[in-house]
Amino acid sequence: MKANIKSILEQELITTDERMKTLKQSDPFMDPDHVIDNAAVDTDVREQEAHMRIEAETEELNDRVLTINEALNRVEKGTYGSCKRCNTTIPDKRLELIPESLYCVACEEELKR
């Protein structure tokens, strides 16, 4: 697992970037005709909701990109797989599920409180 982690993280970065591009292309506010469109109020509300959902998902993906880049930096430094907070080894099963994990489960839960 750890031997090919860099390529796994790089692929996650590519996949996340592709997802963000797809989302941005589907944003109704990116349509040049949106500004001059005299759509019905209900259509405008649906477009607003779609735009807000896309913005929220894009923000989450941006956060993921930052986390993946941080994990890649830790691979380069040789600290990948150690909890950023308590320095214990992150279990391989966790890294298999979430390769960009920076924290062990205990620290992750504590940080979310």
Q: What CA–CA distance (Å, rounded) separates 16 from 18?
A: 5
pLDDT in tens, 68-88: 999 999 999 999 999 999 999
Sort residue 65 into left (φ over 0), alpha (ψ -120 to 50) or beta: alpha
Question: φ, ψ for residue 82 (rounded to 5)?
Answer: -105, 140
Question: Distances from the Cα of 71 to the Cαs of 12, 41, 84, 89, 110, in angstroms?
Answer: 11, 45, 10, 14, 20
According to the model, what pLDDT value does residue 47 have? 80
- What tens digit of pLDDT does each residue of 9-67 get? 999 999 999 999 999 888 887 765 655 555 554 566 788 888 889 999 999 999 999 99
The whole-model pTM stands at: 0.79
Question: What ranges in the chain are assigned the alpha helix state H?
Answer: 5-26, 41-77, 92-97, 105-112
Res 40: pLDDT: 53
For residue 88, the SS3 value is coil
